[in-house]
Structure 1
């Protein structure tokens, strides 16, 4: 995921933390890879066999230490063979520009409607190409969505006949002004991909125009059916602690205020080995998980388009990485493709392409229908995962300073939860792995549960919680309740929190619905080190999807660090979006 802090765009490293989250890898033979190439090859796209996210038969691509798990992919081949290709869908890539002249993108680029912030009149530009040697990200994102199929070169996007539009907010020397952030979701097009966000070790001030633009888009886009907004959850499972240059903590997708709106589809990343990707940010705001891979040298990453030529992009002759393909070998003589692209940056466009197939199967779907279909058909990943009783840094290899202990009886993360409406949810996966063929089948024979527009309750506040003193290093913590009288079928819940505390990185916060479903909003011992208090910060949970809203809601606050710092819960409240 390409990242920025409002005014200054930065790159953040995707740190390999497989030892922390316990990835299990398997081996596969070259024969398995060759079989994958033969099976998936359609038309004449020579690199399509590397696309394990489309058809995983155990191929290792160019990785040296591990390969894929057969069948752990999008489950989408029936959609393709039935004729779905993304035809007629228009997809905006908000990023650092797209090389529209790329051999595998040019026939799917829609000219004259881009936003190019390097022009005096940005809107309606003919195109929005990369501006500098650093602007490689958007071209890779675009290929996962809509690399042209059957054209004799490269690979094949999931929605390989959809049309691409570029908004280059992240391009070099573009000021990321609030107004421009709001513009990323305007235009009324079908799908928007945003593989970007803020670092998840602080709590930036929310951009008001972002929220109002999203509401306008889901209200008016696609002739009133609502545009679909896909966003990366983040690559900050491990992130530098707040105001530290050397110490690492665990991030949370909810710490980016652009991620707390119910109008976006937040996606985490999976690898080819059947697990959550090592970098993928957890959070109660995830919707589903798509595919982002690992790093391409040890374990497979993603095949996609790269800026043309061996002196630009991720694949270059002078590349110092282990993968020869990235230096112009193994058929990539022009360095026009890369097999090392990864991250939730990749998971988002993979999901965007999948949604294009779903919308092509049923163009009448609203944005809420799309969310419902994805949640209903998602597949559990690691379904037997239990509560995480220890902090991920407990006995961290090679670093005694990270032997983080939680209070006796405390947990760091909940196991899979089945809510009262029957939906399964986990903060690492959302509702689970995207299942395209099942989603397409449901879309084609769909009866919407939404007979009216969404209603909103709140914020309903408890402004005088009692007790309000948060005990230090105590698994029991404190509990506060509030009552909701209106019954809605929940589509999303936002929680607003005000807490005084010298170091909110100590704190864990859990929200419990009237039905008893638990959602971990903030994990104990998080990345917000040294920040004094939650100042009416707003977080999103999707765990209560389709439960009823009426009854008693409970907020629990725990302190997970033994440093003799106590705090105070000053107020909290919930805002509920749902259907009567």
Structure 2
């Protein structure tokens, strides 16, 4: 008889998302009125299946790609609680194409919503950074990590600039009540990890769509960014980006707030269509221990089809060569004009050893959500350096070429829409918008203002002079009308007149 008790992972995830409410079995799912579709992408060799072991699992990329495009106009959310443990997948282009088609065509043009977990293998995994995984590093997926009890960092989670946010993956609440959900044969089982976190995030997004079915896939991301918070997080590695948003390399923009998500979804106005622009990076420094490249992003015209001022995601596409050990010791940091630092690749911190002889020759995209809301214009820097130079006497990481692609929309073109949706702390100062204007436009504005000022001054003083002249003339005329010539009468004559008056009496 086949033992299937070890293969209940999908059932557990399904229970977290949409287990029935009020049937007395386990806990209700987050979106208990949602409809579920099971898409099987794994295969198990029979000899392992009979023993109830995972070692024989067969991961079929073709099945994954078929699943991610299955009934795009009927399925809203694809909840994927699995990870690829092999970096630099050769069919990465196919994966990216399937995902891009999904967000462009799915849900009748509003975009399929792809939810992925951030992984459970911790710092010891070969893919120690989520940006090395072909699905997680896509700008078309929403990646969620697991937060531990009281906001702690579970030992099994991994870093990644592509991680959008986190949910409570080990317990029902931050306080520590175990998360129990449906299992095989109508049973209940405790469930934890980033798989549970991703399932919970998928259920939360389902509640948002129930509140507003017109949300696009990017609207969903915006609402999550705007409503998540790091206030409950004990892991103190947060930064604040140039748009005032706090983020963390493990938890993205923080813990999901389902209530705030649903409330904001009800009145949310769709963000404009996604645009992108790409710039090549020029290497300005190259040493035995570090490489620095810079990209100067010029302002773009609002009428352009590829004008991004309000950044959502940034992708560093790099052609590189390295040995395995050097690669594991490398950090790649992208720095924005506002000074925000995002580690698009974190060095390996585990205890495994790696081979100097094994070579890596790849072109790979490292994505980041950490610059969300920032302005793209200005100088961007790519810093590549290794962190074990005392151990690595021959650091062989060579970046041959790098490009930076910005994804977002033109804030100048759609300022009123952005202000309507964004909370007050996200609204950039108006000067930040004006800084994107080109020099010749500024000169035209300055000349116009000076001309207007001169005309205004002349008109003002001309009218003032006319008014003063009129008042003076009027005053002069009044004085002339009121002027009386004084008559002096001698004292003797006055005495005589007085005596005459008495005699008459």
Whether TM-score is above 0.5 comes out as yes
| Change over 3 Å in CA distance of 1:468–1:382 after alignment to 2 | farther
Distance in 1 (CA, whole Å) between partners of 2:254 and 2:132 is: 21
Q: Equivalent of 1:578, from 378, 386, 408?
A: 408
Distance in 1 (CA, whole Å) between partners of 2:171 and 2:124 is: 17
Residue 274 of structure 1 deviates from its aligned partner by 2.0
2:82 matched to 1:261?
no
User: 8 Å contact 2:318–2:402 — kept in the other structure?
Assistant: yes
2:78 matched to 1:192?
yes
Aligned residue for 1:338?
A: 189
Superimposed CA distance per residue, residues 16-64 of structure 1 (whole angstroms, 9 cap, x where no aligned partner) = xxxxxxxxxxxxxxxxxxxxxxxxxxxxxxxxxxxxxxxxxxxxxxxxx
* Partner-residue secondary structure (3-state), 1:287: strand
Residue 552 of structure 1 deviates from its aligned partner by 1.6
| Change over 3 Å in CA distance of 1:134–1:521 after alignment to 2 | same
2:58 matched to 1:237?
no
Aligned residue for 2:34?
A: 162
Superimposed CA distance per residue, residues 300-340 of structure 1 (whole angstroms, 9 cap, x where no aligned partner) = 6521111117xxxxxxxxxxxxxxxxxxxxxxxxxx0101x
Q: Equivalent of 1:497, from 309, 318, 321?
A: 318
User: 8 Å contact 2:233–2:254 — kept in the other structure?
Assistant: no
User: 8 Å contact 2:329–2:386 — kept in the other structure?
Assistant: yes
Residue 210 of structure 1 deviates from its aligned partner by 1.8
Structure 1 gaps of 5+ residues are 1-129, 243-249, 310-335, 387-414, 472-476
Distance in 2 (CA, whole Å) between partners of 1:483 and 1:191 is: 38
Distance in 2 (CA, whole Å) between partners of 1:496 and 1:215 is: 17
User: 8 Å contact 2:41–2:60 — kept in the other structure?
Assistant: no
Residue 520 of structure 1 deviates from its aligned partner by 0.9
* Partner-residue secondary structure (3-state), 1:150: coil
Aligned residue for 1:468?
A: 286
Aligned residue for 2:112?
A: 227
Residue 501 of structure 1 deviates from its aligned partner by 3.4
* Partner-residue secondary structure (3-state), 1:479: strand
Residue 495 of structure 1 deviates from its aligned partner by 0.8
Distance in 1 (CA, whole Å) between partners of 2:403 and 2:10 is: 38
2:316 matched to 1:482?
no
Give the number of equivalent residue pairs: 376
User: 8 Å contact 1:492–1:542 — kept in the other structure?
Assistant: yes
Q: Is the helix fraction higher in 1 or 2?
A: 2
Residue 382 of structure 1 deviates from its aligned partner by 5.4
User: 8 Å contact 1:269–1:344 — kept in the other structure?
Assistant: yes
* Partner-residue secondary structure (3-state), 1:222: helix
Superimposed CA distance per residue, residues 208-262 of structure 1 (whole angstroms, 9 cap, x where no aligned partner) = 222111111111211211121110011122324x5xxxxxxx8111121221111
Q: Equivalent of 2:97, from 199, 208, 212?
A: 212
Q: Equivalent of 2:242, from 417, 420, 425?
A: 420
2:113 matched to 1:284?
no
Aligned residue for 2:395?
A: 566
Distance in 2 (CA, whole Å) between partners of 1:167 and 1:385 is: 36
User: 8 Å contact 1:193–1:348 — kept in the other structure?
Assistant: yes
Aligned residue for 1:81?
A: none
Distance in 2 (CA, whole Å) between partners of 1:490 and 1:277 is: 30
Alignment of 1:384-395 (within 5 A): 385-386=235-236
Residue 492 of structure 1 deviates from its aligned partner by 1.1
Larger Rg: 2
Distance in 1 (CA, whole Å) between partners of 2:178 and 2:364 is: 35
